[in-house]
Amino acid sequence: MMWLTWRQFRAQAITAAAALAAFAILLAATGPHLASLYTTSKVASCHGYACDAATSAFYSKLAGLDTVVYLLGIGLILIAPAIIGIFWGAPLIARELETRTFNLAWTQGVTRTQWLAVKLALTGLAAMAVTEELSLIYAWWANPISNAIRLNTGSAPQLFSQGPFSSVIFASHGVTPLGYAAFAFALGTAAGVMTRRAVPAMAITLAVFAAVQLAMPLAVRPHLVSPSHTTASIEAADQVYASLTADVVPGHPDAWILSSQALNAAGQPVSTIPAACNNANPSGEKGGTTQITPGQCMQSRGYREAISYLPTSRYWSLQVIETGIFLALALALAWFSFWRLGRRRA
Amino acid sequence: MSAVIETVGLGKQYRRQWALADCTLSIPAGHVVGLVGPNGAGKTTLLNLAVGLLAPDAGTIEVLGGIPAAGRAQLARVGFLAQDSPAYAGLSVADHLELGAHLNRGWDAGLARGRVERLDLDLGQKAGTLSGGQRAQLALTLAIAKRPELLILDEPVASLDPLARREFLQDLMEAAAEQELSVVLSSHLIADLERVCDYLIVLVGSRVRVAGPVDELLATHHVLSGPRRDPATLPDGLEVISASHTDVQTTLLVRTSGPVLDPAWTVSQVGLEDLVLAYLSQASTRRRRDNHHHLEVQK
């Protein structure tokens, strides 16, 4: 059964290996240059505010190609599970049902369960391996940029302001790509078993996978790990627009802010900037001689910001839990395929 | 005589429709059995149930004393050639032999190679580019080289041209004789069945209309022709299968165990095709009558 699975999977495996190799060559060709830029910009040895200058210098030296590879890599890792689900998962069983070759396969000397188990296990492991491999070599390549993002506490170009918890970064690093690959593959297979036609199964796979990938960061991920709570200086937390929402958690620059609430001196929640501070502005007309921002104004009146957040120390818990959820979904879908094929008996 | 396929009240339902209902039959071992019936009689469903591609919704089926596809041992004992002999279009003939070798413990590689060479199949050719006859031969090779005890073929020659059909059946006969296989094949081409089968089952609307060794069927069925008369006046022991009348003459196909002694009748031999057709049309006239609630005395 291993032989047949491999023989049927061979062409797809070679395509995937070639794509992976091409991407690896691209990374290997541009990676050392990126690392040397990082070194010469002295980002590694910076302290405190010097880091902002060092990282800015580093960003400004990045060539167009580096930026393209940076984005391309994230895009590839995010899209790889969908491609695997569509082109490996959906046709895996559907094609056999469509061309009626299951008549041949299921009347040889192996049981249907064994046939499906080997097909799912072998192709599924390959799906996970390819995606995770892609993620790992990319993480190696992007390491200087990831470090720079972590060290930059001031304003950075929009492109390089995405911390480890941002939707696309979180989903393209760590072990999550592995979970997505397993899920997308099992989803494609199950869709194929259900529709018995490869093309509709491909469409269903794409639609469901895209929906799940949108729902995950918006609706599910914020609730997976219990957050930390802190009450911080409003001036330090609400840095950008004095919008009464926290932009950073003081002391935890890379933390993921799940929710924040401005509180007045009495500890009551407020949703508008107090009138007295509303007109406060750097030109300082109202405050007399002192230039004062709305943030400084509220700070002086005892306003604070209550924040619930995930510190980077919980990054890996979240990674493992999310990956576990997708692996569990993959197993459930695989079980469905077994059940359905066994029950329908063709 | 042991049975290779034994069913009791067997039924299979697709949505609300019964493709096979209340089918009870016993197919003896050591024969080349022809299963014949009109389209929709449930032949394919019955054979798919026998190889375990389908599971019954009612009744039971035993194949070689076991439950179809219940495990590797059972799978190994039954060879199957599905309708239109499917094959992996992208895999070569050699790949298919390799597939057989990897998926079947009892695989006879020498036999498979020998057959492919004798049939002049190109090992490197993709199955998708084979002719219908070649693909059927390849599928038969796979089914035979796993060394089954029972070979089941579903309309193996339906899509083949007459020459390929004859070659295929000839080859099947030789293989069955050499390996002492029991064979069950379905077809609606009675002439083909006549050439290869020594046992016949006529299945209409899930029911066995007639079953028995071909020579016995031929010996017990006669065509009687004589002056016009009511078939109801015939003596006991004669079962009328079909009757046709002109103004002056009556022609009957009857089944009887003894000789027909009435000198009014001219008795002649019946061919297998006429015999089968008589049973098929008997079933269809009965069905028509049932449908129209039109009562008519036939006997």
CB A91 within 8 A of CB A192: yes
A5: closest CA of chain B, how far (Å): 10
Q: Where are the domains of chain B?
A: 3-205, 216-292
Three-state secondary structure call for residue B36 = strand
Can you give the residue range of the structural domain that contains A252?
228-310
The reported pLDDT for the residue numbered B124 is 95
Fold classification of B216-292 (topology level): Alpha-Beta Plaits (3.30.70)
| Contact status, residue A202 vs residue A195, Cβ threshold 8 Å | no
What's the whole-number mean pLDDT along residues A285-295?
Answer: 61
CA nearest to B140 within chain A: A104
List the single residue in B75, B80, B86 with the smallest CB-CB distance to A101: B86
**pLDDT tens, residue by residue, B253-264:** 989 888 877 788
Tell me which chain A residues have a C-beta less than 8 angstroms from the C-beta of B82: 100, 103-104, 107
Q: Among B81, B249, B285, B299, which residue's Cα sits nearest to residue B171?
A: B81
Overall average pLDDT of the B191-209 stretch: 88
Element (H, E) at B276: helix B272-292
Are residues A81 and A131 in contact, defined by beta-carbon separation less than 8 angstroms? yes
- CB of B2 within 8 A of CB of B29? yes
Q: What percentage of chain B's residues is helix, strand, coil (to nearest 5)?
A: 35, 30, 35
* Confidence (pLDDT) at B74: 94
**In chain A, positions 257-296, which contact chain B (CB-CB < 8 Å)?**
none
pLDDT at B292 over 70: no
The reply to whether A338 and A197 lie within a common domain is yes
- Domain shared by A9 and A95, yes or no: yes
B118 compared with A161, residue with greater pLDDT: B118
Burial status of residue B295 (CB atoms within 10 A of its CB: 0-12, 13-18, 19 or more): exposed
What is the helix (H) or strand (E) element at residue B81, kind and residue range? strand B78-81
Determine whether the interchain pair A346/B48 forms a contact, defined as Cβ–Cβ distance below 8 Å. Answer: yes
Which DSSP string corresponds to A215-267? HIIIIIGGGTSPPEEEEEEHHHHS-SS--SS-S-BTTBTT-EEEEEEEE-TTS
> In chain A, what percentage of residues exceed pLDDT 90?
65
Please give the average per-residue pLDDT across A183-201, as a whole number. 97
C-alpha A44 chain-centroid distance: 25
- Note the pLDDT of residue B294: 39
Choose among A281, A268, A269: nearest CA to A242: A281
C-alpha span between B148 and B75 (Å, rounded): 9
Cα–Cα distance list, A71 to A159, A230, B12 (Å)? 9, 34, 56
* In a shared domain, residues A254 and A339: no
Q: What is the mean pLDDT of residues B99-114?
A: 94
* Strand B207-213 versus strand B199-204 pairing type: antiparallel
Say whether both A53 and A153 belong to one domain.
yes
Convert the pLDDT of each residue in B154-199 to its tens digit.
999 888 888 888 889 998 999 889 888 999 999 888 888 888 999 9
Neighbours of B257 (CB within 10 A): 9
Q: Are A122 and A235 in a shared domain?
A: no
**What ipTM was assigned to the predicted interfaces of this complex?**
0.86
The answer on A213 and A91 residing in a single domain is: yes
**Residue B39 banded pLDDT, cuts 50, 70, 90:** confident
- Half-sphere exposure of B81 toward its Cβ, with a 13 Å CA cutoff? 31
Residue A346: the pLDDT is 44
Predicted local distance difference test score (pLDDT) of residue A174:
94
The contact set of B with A (CB < 8 A) is 48, 51-55, 69, 71-72, 75-76, 78-80, 82-84, 86-91, 95, 98-100, 102-106, 139, 142-143, 146
Chain-centre distance for alpha carbon B141: 20
Q: Which of B75, B84, B98 sits opposite A3 (nearest CB)?
A: B98
**pLDDT, position B293:** 43
Of the CA atoms within 13 Å of residue B212, those in its CB half-sphere come to: 13
Whether residues B105 and A109 touch (CB distance < 8 A) is answered with yes
Q: Which of A101, A120, A114, A103 is nearest to A345 (CA)?
A: A103
| Cβ separation A99–B86 shorter than 8 A | yes
Domain count, chain A: 2
Query: Which residue, B295, B224, B299, is CA-closest to B262?
Result: B224
Q: What is the pLDDT of residues B3-25, one digit of tens each?
A: 899 999 999 988 888 889 889 99
Q: Write the DSSP symbol of residue A226.
A: P
Q: What gap in Å lies between CA A318 and CA B181, rounded to an integer?
A: 62
pLDDT tens track for A218-262: 999 999 999 999 998 888 887 766 678 888 888 888 899 999 999
For position B288, what pLDDT does the model report?
Answer: 57
CB-closest option in B89, B98, B139 to A99: B89
**Residue B54 is nearest to which of A3, A4, A346, comparing CB atoms?**
A346
Does B69 sit within 8 Å of A111, measured CB to CB? yes
Report d(CA B152, CA A106) in Å as an integer. Answer: 14
Residues A77 and A159 reside in one and the same domain: yes
How far apart (Å, rounded) are the C-alpha atoms in residues B299 and B295? 12
Predicted confidence at residue B239, as pLDDT, reads 86
Are residues A160 and A254 both part of a single domain? no
pLDDT in tens, A293-337: 778 888 888 889 999 999 999 999 999 999 999 999 999 999 999
Of A7, A100, A102, the CB nearest to B91: A7
CA distance B60 to B67: 9
Give chain B's radius of gyration (CA, Å).
22
pLDDT winner (highest mean) among B47-61, B185-199, B230-244 = B47-61
Using left for φ > 0, alpha for ψ between -120 and 50, and beta otherwise, residue B60 falls in beta
pLDDT at B243: 87
SS3 of residue B183 by DSSP: strand
d(CA B78, CA B104) in angstroms, rounded, equals 11
Residue A269: strand, helix, or coil: strand
Mean pLDDT of all residues in B196-223: 90
Alpha-carbon gap: B19 to the closest alpha carbon of chain A (Å): 14
Distance of CA A303 to the CA centre of its chain: 34
**At A221, which amino acid appears?**
R
- Residue B159 has a pLDDT of 82
Query: What residues are paired with A249 via a beta bridge?
Result: A252
> Torsions phi, psi of A149, nearest 5?
-60, -40
Higher-pLDDT residue of A53, B129: B129
Contact check, Cβ <8 Å, B53/A108: no
H or E stretch covering B4: strand B3-14
Residue partners of A14: CB distance under 8 A and separation at least 6 = none
Facing residue for A111 by CB, picked from B71, B100, B143: B71
Rg of chain A in Å (alpha carbons): 26
The answer to whether residues A158 and A48 belong to one domain is yes
Average pLDDT, chain B: 88
For the CA atoms of B173, B175, B176, B178, the dihedral, rounded to the nearest 10 degrees, stands at 120
Q: Tell me which CATH code domain B3-205 carries.
A: 3.40.50.300
pLDDT at B289: 53
| Chain B interface, best mutation among A8, A100, A104, by max B CB count within 10 A | A104
Q: Min CA distance, A343 vs chain B (Å)?
A: 8
What are residue B185's DSSP bridge partners? Answer: B34, B153
DSSP letter (8 states) at residue A160: G
Q: Across the interface, do B55 and A110 touch by the CB < 8 Å criterion?
A: no
Whether the pLDDT of residue A15 is over 80: the answer is: yes
pLDDT at B298: 39
Handedness of CA B179, B184, B186, B192 (dihedral sign): positive
Question: Does residue A291 carry a pLDDT above 80?
Answer: no
Strand order in the sheet with B17-28: B17-28, B3-14, B58-63
d(CA A178, CA A175): 6
> Mind listing the pLDDT tens digit for each residue in A77-109?
999 999 999 999 999 999 999 999 999 999 999
Give the count of alpha carbons within 13 A of A274, CB side only. 19
Model confidence pTM above 0.80: yes
Closest residue by Cα to residue A87 from A210, A208, A203 = A203
Percent of chain A with pLDDT over 70: 93
Q: What are φ and ψ of residue B222, in 5° steps?
A: -135, 150
Residue in B with minimal Cα distance to A101 = B86
Task: For B14, name the nearest residue in chain A, comparing CA atoms only.
Answer: A344
Average pLDDT, chain A: 90
CA separation, residue A344 to residues A96, A103, A214, B14 (Å):
15, 14, 33, 10
- B3-205 and B216-292 share one CATH topology? no
Q: What tokens were used for A246?
A: 């926290």
The distance of A98 to chain B (nearest Cα, Å) reads 11
Termini Cα distance of chain B? 34
Give the closest of A103, A108, A346 to B103, CB-based: A108
Show residues of chain A in contact with B69, CB under 8 Å.
106-107, 111-112
Q: What pLDDT is attached to residue B143?
A: 94
Q: Do B104 and A108 touch (CB under 8 A)?
A: yes
Secondary structure (DSSP) of A276-333: HHHT--TT-STTTTS---HHHHHHHTT-EEEEEEE-GGGHHHHHHHHHHHHHHHHHHH
Tell me the chain B residues in contact with residue A110 when contact means C-beta distances shorter than 8 Å.
72, 75, 103
CA of A186, closest CA in chain B: separation in Å?
23
